[in-house]
Amino acid sequence: MKITRRAALGTLAAGPMLAMPAVHAQAPVEITFNYPIAVGGPIPRIIDGYCEDFARENPRFRIKPIYAGSYQDTLTKTLTAMRGGDAPQMACLLAVDIFTLIDEDAILPWDDQQGVERAWLDGFYPGFLENSRTGGKTWGIPFQRSTIVLYWNKDLFQAAGLDPDRAPANWAEQLSFAQRLTRREGDNVTQWGIQIPSSGFPYWLFQGLTTQNDVRLMNPEGNRVFFGDPKVAEALQYWMDLSQRHRVHPAGIVEWGTTPRDFFERKVAMMWTTTGNLTNVRSNARFPFGVGMLPAGTRLGSPTGGGNLYVFKSASPAQREGAVRFARFLTTPERAAQWGIDTGYVAVTPAAFETPAMKAYVEGFPAAAVARDQLPHAVAELSTHENQRVTKALNDNLQAALLGRKQARTAMADAQAEAERILRRYR
């Protein structure tokens, strides 16, 4: 009996031990995905849903989203974790972080990953790929992308004797409209004609003006900037004049975060902000509003903005495979279309705008197509090596000029000199 029992126990023990490798082989491969938003709100719920749907379709993989705060917070946390040997395998970070991530030796080009075809990489809007490629490689996959657009309050337009269905077409009209829309009671302004935010991302809003004045702020290699170009100072002077000369725009620094609220509260009739605010405006504006391309200077134009998907060198071969599958999952035409509908960000491929859901959405809400239609006039957002230091040099001087502390040409010459000092070693 003892022999039989021992034999039986041995048989029982051997079974699970032999099965263990198969159990381990079936355990899902976990991919940490750093995402730039605070916990809570509708977007994390959408991303959580995508991760769950992906796991159902791809049981070999499990995406673990980490909501890390702002884009800046997410970049800082991601690079800190990487230096400590605990980098994520995937992240959504600003498209302009491309040179920083390459210089940190943090990311891999998507072109070199298994399961990536050129047709997929070339299927995104060219305007979004400008900030996604360098050196002949694709380092970022467009996902959470945007441009700047103009929003206006149609009721206030009508009250000012303006056509409520027509946005200003150019800089002169933008000023003229803003003059008619500004309301004063003595020295107190009760309604501003226009607001262009100058906190948070002043360089980005400014780049709308420089693009319209037909000048680019940097070269494709990210090692030269052109802040000292006279056309750049002209663009800044136009912005300064809106408040300092014409008094149709609040003086000083206009907050990025409060500009939509000012619009909702009818404190401002026109505002420049991201198309990523489209769903927010649609949900909270208690009046009819319009959305249009930014007014032209010598040309139409806006910088692109927003986040790309990156795959990190920390990823194992299996995790890289999962990252590719997840990136492709997120950017299918149907999902890209629904993401645009749900968030206001621009669907990143022409194919997304051909889906039945997007066609129906645009037919019922034509404003959703404005950012797409502006893309042929868009340029890459300011992006260089040591991008944060270079943009800080520009931001600091922009704000000094808007506060009346520097002349436009002096401010841009100072920004150019500081950027030259930073970028010299990359040439």
> Which tokens in the block code for residue 212?
């319209």
pLDDT of residue 18: 42
pLDDT of residue 41: 67
The 3-state DSSP class for residue 85 equals coil
Query: Please, what's the largest Cα pairwise distance for the chain?
Result: 106
> Which tokens in the block code for residue 135?
């050196």
pLDDT of residue 14: 39
Amino acid at 399: Q
pLDDT of residue 25: 55
Pairing of β 90-94 and β 302-312? antiparallel
Give the Cα separation of 12 and 91 in Å (integer): 45
Beta strands in 334-400 (DSSP E): 378-379
pLDDT of residue 200: 87
Helix (H) or strand (E) holding 126: helix 126-129
Q: Which of 153, 144, 158, 192 is nearest to 281 (CA)?
A: 153
Q: Which of 310, 176, 150, 319 is nearest to 242 (CA)?
A: 176
pLDDT of residue 37: 87
Q: Which architecture, in CATH terms, is 27-146+305-378?
A: 3-Layer(aba) Sandwich (3.40)
Please tell me what DSSP assigns to residue 386: T
pLDDT of residue 187: 87
Amino acid at 392: K
Q: Which of 304, 269, 259, 265 is nearest to 285 (CA)?
A: 265
pLDDT values of the chain reduced to their tens digit, one per residue, 427 residues: 334 433 333 433 334 444 444 444 579 999 999 999 865 668 999 999 999 999 999 999 999 999 999 999 999 999 999 999 999 999 999 999 999 999 999 999 999 999 999 999 999 999 999 999 999 999 999 999 999 999 999 999 999 999 999 999 999 999 999 999 999 998 899 999 999 999 989 999 999 999 999 999 999 999 999 999 999 999 999 999 999 999 999 999 999 999 999 999 999 999 999 998 998 999 999 999 999 999 999 999 999 999 999 999 999 999 999 999 999 999 999 999 999 999 989 999 999 999 999 999 999 999 999 999 999 999 999 999 999 999 999 999 999 999 999 999 999 999 999 999 999 999 9
Residue with tokens 């859901």: 357
